Amino acid sequence: MVEFHAQELDDQEKRYVLVEFPYPSGVGLHIGHAFSFTGGDVYARFERMQGKNVLFPMGWDAFGLPTENYAIRTGRKPQDVTRENTDMFRKQMHELGFSFDWEREVNTTDPSYYQWTQWIFIKLVEKGLAYKSEMPINWCPSCKVGLANEEVVDGHCERCGTQTERRTISQWVVRITKYADRLIDGLEQTNFIEKVKASQINWIGRSEGARIKFPVVMPGQVEESGENLEVFTTRPDTLWGCTFMVVAPEHPLVSKVMDNPAVADYVERARRKSEMERTEQTHEKDGVFSGLMVRHPVTGQELPIWISDFVLVTYGTGAIMAVPAHDERDHQFATQYGLPIVPVIQPEEDWYFPNAAYTSMAGRVVNSGPIDGLTPAEAIPAAVAWLAERGIGERAVSYHLRDWIFSRQHYWGEPIPMIYCEKCGWQTVPEDQLPVVLPEVEHYKPTDTGESPLAAITEWVNVACPHCGAPARRETDTMPNWAGSDWYFLRFCDPHNDHALADMEKMRYWMPVDVYIGGDEHNTLHLLYSRFIYQFLHDLGVVPADKPEPYQKRLSHGVILGPDNQRMSKSRGNVIVPGEYVEKYGADALRTYLMFMGPYDATMAWNERALLGVKRFLDKLERFVNEHAGQGGHSGEGVRSAINRMGKEVAEDTAAFKFNTAIAHMMETLNTLTALVEPVEGQGEVVADAELRHFAQVIAPYAPFISDTLWQKVGGEGSVHHSRWPQYDPSLQLEEMMVIALQVNGKLRGTVEVSPLATEAEIRAKAEVQTGVAKFLSQGQLLKVIYITGRTMNFVIRG
Ligand code: ANZ
Ligand code: ZN
């Protein structure tokens, strides 16, 4: 196979084709990898043949828990395990014929790579976008370890099955929320499909509304405490219908009433639940009265403050004004605890408030002083203005997007390049001391305190403060998995640079990524995080100023299910391993089958018989070429026309990622050719090498091995993969050809392709030499021929 090293060539149009780089697990490439990479490879090879300068890189996102867990179990070094795994992946990728530029291979666990991941973190700190904060994590009390959300399965620790808790620990947090609006607006500069844009926008979850202050009244006191309970609401128009308040169990106000045993008990129970359990629709809304009251800022009424975990501390202000008449959750809660329900929107239809909340925006505001008579849509801005004038509330925007917890208490990740000094506080590691290399440890298990095992290596942990020189300590948390994959597409532009994350000119040439192929599961977080980091680097001025977004187009491929139509899983025993099928049918057949299964973004079940069908097609093509190779002269008109059209159709479909229909065209064309060249009474058409070369070229992106062999057999020079896609010749195809069905006594016996200008006599002449028809004509007596224009020609014979 030929090398595919990409170089910056100013005189050639570039294409940056990126497939998500894999996590090199111990089990090797799975079929989803093969599917994803084949799609990228077909496109990359196709674009090269179109004369584009293609960058198609590959690397390893190799930090992560499975390797760490394996190290804990076996005592082996994650570094060694990773090396073995990447060697295996690389070998399997070679077998599948992927045309990656191996000179640009990167590995997120290489110090020369993560030096720049650490550098980005330092810049985040310097710009005030990373800070230390007490943040809740999932905690396994038995393993004594913080767990990522993905490691919590149904509220239980994935490793030991113990029920997990929420625990608050001090962590590094990245202020992605500051970029929330940019991340929404920037989508306009991309041509992601709507589904992907929507998932980004939904995740950011921008809500417009108001913040409103409710003065807190201490129990037994008439005087207000001077403290305010602030809420975020999207419906300030319903303020007059607020009958109670609810705060999250973690809300600061709750700490003041923890001496109440009922409160303490409730808070403890809530702590054990995962966030998912707390927000579930079906989850019963239970809560406890805090003993505290607020004064309604407009009506002056005293309202109770309840504590319930359906209110999340991480959203808005962690407190709500409950309007049970118009909010479903509030209604449920009020019904459960017998709290009043006061309608303030007059519904347009009959409504029985004790049964359900009226949440529609249709209707008129009532019993609400200054906003009476308005529609809710009119009343919202009116209420905000009215409240703002009186200093009670103000317009506010909330984002469901959270700041990004960037600390992991694990070993196998990038060390966070921070040093803590008693006197100077948190200091960044000076840039010239990067990378902070992950030291080798004896044991990979997190410590009893939940700290990463790095905490136990005192000679690594203890350093001098970079600011004052006093004894200080290194941060022992490591970065999350996302860190290395946030900017890898930049490193591919210039992977060996040791003085910058990538050279500006090289990025100017290659960026943005033209097509980014990956799984649906990364359409949200990975895309958002990496777009954020890119936008941040853009603000720093280290990526090209005229390129505000990293990815031009995002393509998410579908999922391949097991033969039983179920998701593949070890426990179901329906896992398909690509290597096995490469061995059985060859890489070309597997690749072509994967691309032929259906639309690239569809979810489809594995079907070995269909794979066998594709294998037969390739075998047939090979036989066809072998049989006809070496014929000089010119191909017949039909042959030339069919090949010419195939080149165009396959090019159009491949460029549009319609790989399955591209392959269908090739299959049809092979059938057409077979029919055309079949020597019937010496009348079959000639197929010359020139046309066979074109066939080899057109199938080359899909079946890179066999195509090269065929290409050489029919006089192709060099490698087919370095050749240019066959030129389309419009003169060979003035019109679309018509396909006429040929019948004998009403039974289908073949087809013939003709120009729409062909006369009936011409069509008949072509039809009579088709084997399916000729056979009958030679045996029986032709009575008549019935031609239905543009469709069928029926030969009625007496046999
Ligand atoms: C009063 C109200 C009346 C509300 C009404 C809704 C309907 P989104 O659209 O998701 O932004 N809310 C605010 N903070 C919350 C928190 N930390 N946990 C749970 N719920 C919270 O939702 C905003 C609405 O969700 C807010 O508007 C608030 O309830 C609730 F007829 O305030 B609303
Ligand atoms: Zn210091």
Does residue 511 contact residue 547 with C-beta atoms inside 8 Å?
yes
Token look-up 């359906």 returns 310
User: Which of helix, strand or coil describes residue 415?
Assistant: strand
Q: Which of 204, 320, 353, 401 to mutate to test the pocket of ligand 1 (most atoms within 8 A of CB)?
A: 320
Residue 453 pLDDT level (bands cut at 50, 70, 90): confident
| pLDDT exceeds cutoff 80 at 37 | yes
The predicted model scores a pTM of 0.84
Q: Does 235 sit in the ligand 1 pocket, CB within 6 Å?
A: yes
For the ranges 105-119, 575-589, 729-743, the lowest mean pLDDT is seen at: 729-743
Ligand with an atom nearest the CA of residue 425: 2
Read off the pLDDT of residues 758-769 as tens digits, 9 standing for 90 and up: 788 889 988 988
Integer Cα distance of 799 and 794 in angstroms = 15
Distance between first and last Cα of the chain:
56
Residue scoring higher pLDDT (779 or 386):
386
User: Treating both helix axes as pointing N-terminal to C-terminal, what angle do 608-628 and 704-713 enclose, rounded to 10 degrees?
Assistant: 10
Q: Which residue owns the Cα nearest ligand 1 atom 8?
A: 207
User: Which of helix, strand or coil describes residue 511?
Assistant: coil
| pLDDT exceeds cutoff 60 at 734 | no
Provide the residue count of the chain.
799
Read off the pLDDT of residues 254-300 as tens digits, 9 standing for 90 and up: 999 999 999 999 998 887 776 666 666 555 668 999 999 999 999 99
pLDDT score recorded for residue 274: 65
Measured in Å, residue 468 CA sits from the centre of ligand 2 at: 4
Residue 218 pLDDT level (bands cut at 50, 70, 90): confident
Measured in Å, residue 453 CA sits from the centre of ligand 2 at: 24
- DSSP per-residue string spanning 648-712: HHHHHHHHTT-HHHHHHHHHHHHHHHHHHHS-STT-PPP--HHHHHHHHHHHTTTSHHHHHHHHH
Cross-strand bridge partners of residue 398: 207
Q: Does 321 sit in the ligand 1 pocket, CB within 6 Å?
A: yes
pLDDT score recorded for residue 42: 98
Read off the pLDDT of residues 82-119 as tens digits, 9 standing for 90 and up: 999 999 999 999 999 999 999 999 999 999 999 999 99
pLDDT score recorded for residue 599: 95
| pLDDT exceeds cutoff 80 at 222 | no
| Beta strands 781-788; 792-798: pairing state | antiparallel
User: Which of helix, strand or coil describes residue 509?
Assistant: helix
Read off the pLDDT of residues 109-155 as tens digits, 9 standing for 90 and up: 999 999 999 999 999 999 999 999 987 788 888 777 777 666 777 78
Can you tell me the mean pLDDT for 24-39? 95
3-state SS, 252-308, equals HHHHHHCCCHHHHHHHHHHHHCCHHHHHCCCCCCCEEEEEEEEECCCCCCEEEEEEE
| pLDDT exceeds cutoff 60 at 2 | no
Measured in Å, residue 658 CA sits from the centre of ligand 1 at: 44
Kindly give, in sequence order, each residue whose CB lies less than 8 Å from that of residue 84, ignoring residues fewer than 6 positions away: none
Q: Which of 171, 120, 150 is nearest to 405 (CA)?
A: 171
| pLDDT exceeds cutoff 80 at 157 | yes
Burial of 169 (0-12, 13-18, 19+ CB in 10 A): middle
Which numbered atom of ligand 1 lies nearest the CA of 311?
18
Can you tell me the mean pLDDT for 177-192? 95
Q: Does 138 sit in the ligand 1 pocket, CB within 6 Å?
A: no
| Beta strands 418-421; 404-405: pairing state | unpaired
pLDDT score recorded for residue 298: 96
Measured in Å, residue 295 CA sits from the centre of ligand 1 at: 19
Residue 790 pLDDT level (bands cut at 50, 70, 90): confident
Note the Cα 523 to chain centre separation in Å.
3
Q: Which two tokens stand for residue 687?
A: 């197929």
Q: Which amino acid, residue 641?
A: S
Q: Which residue owns the Cα nearest ligand 1 atom 26?
A: 233
Q: Which amino acid, residue 38?
A: T
pLDDT score recorded for residue 570: 86
Q: Which amino acid, residue 512?
A: P
Measured in Å, residue 242 CA sits from the centre of ligand 1 at: 12
Angle value at C-alpha 669, between 35 and 609, nearest 5 degrees? 45
Does residue 207 contact residue 398 with C-beta atoms inside 8 Å?
yes
Q: Which residue owns the Cα nearest ligand 1 atom 29?
A: 233
pLDDT score recorded for residue 449: 75
| pLDDT exceeds cutoff 90 at 628 | yes
Q: Does 279 sit in the ligand 1 pocket, CB within 6 Å?
A: no
Integer Cα distance of 692 and 545 in angstroms = 48
| Beta strands 747-754; 106-107: pairing state | unpaired
Cross-strand bridge partners of residue 469: none
Residue 733 pLDDT level (bands cut at 50, 70, 90): low
Q: Does 482 sit in the ligand 1 pocket, CB within 6 Å?
A: no
pLDDT score recorded for residue 441: 85
Q: Does 238 sit in the ligand 1 pocket, CB within 6 Å?
A: yes
Measured in Å, residue 191 CA sits from the centre of ligand 1 at: 33
Q: Is the peptide bond before 512 cis (omega within 30 degrees of 0)?
A: yes
Read off the pLDDT of residues 383-407 as tens digits, 9 standing for 90 and up: 999 999 999 999 999 999 988 889 9
Integer Cα distance of 662 and 659 in angstroms = 5
Cross-strand bridge partners of residue 472: 463
pLDDT score recorded for residue 314: 83
Q: Does 311 sit in the ligand 1 pocket, CB within 6 Å?
A: yes
Helix/strand/coil percent split, the chain, to 5: 40, 20, 40
Measured in Å, residue 578 CA sits from the centre of ligand 2 at: 55
Q: Does 491 sit in the ligand 1 pocket, CB within 6 Å?
A: no
pLDDT score recorded for residue 31: 96
pLDDT mean across residues, the chain: 92
pLDDT score recorded for residue 606: 97
Can you tell me the mean pLDDT for 11-27? 94
Q: Does 207 sit in the ligand 1 pocket, CB within 6 Å?
A: yes
Q: Which of 177, 203, 207, 234 to mutate to test the pocket of ligand 1 (most atoms within 8 A of CB)?
A: 234
Can you tell me the mean pLDDT for 719-744? 86
pLDDT score recorded for residue 502: 98
Kindly give, in sequence order, each residue whose CB lies less than 8 Å from that of residue 251, ignoring residues fewer than 6 positions away: 307, 311, 313, 318, 319
Residue 656 pLDDT level (bands cut at 50, 70, 90): very high
Separation in Å, CA 665 to CA 7, 643, 730? 33, 10, 18
What's the alpha-carbon Rg for the chain, to the nearest Å? Answer: 34
pLDDT score recorded for residue 70: 85
pLDDT score recorded for residue 681: 62
Integer Cα distance of 711 and 648 in angstroms = 19
Residue 358 pLDDT level (bands cut at 50, 70, 90): very high
pLDDT above 90 covers what percent of the chain? Answer: 74
Token look-up 């037969």 returns 616
Integer Cα distance of 502 and 494 in angstroms = 5
| pLDDT exceeds cutoff 80 at 370 | yes
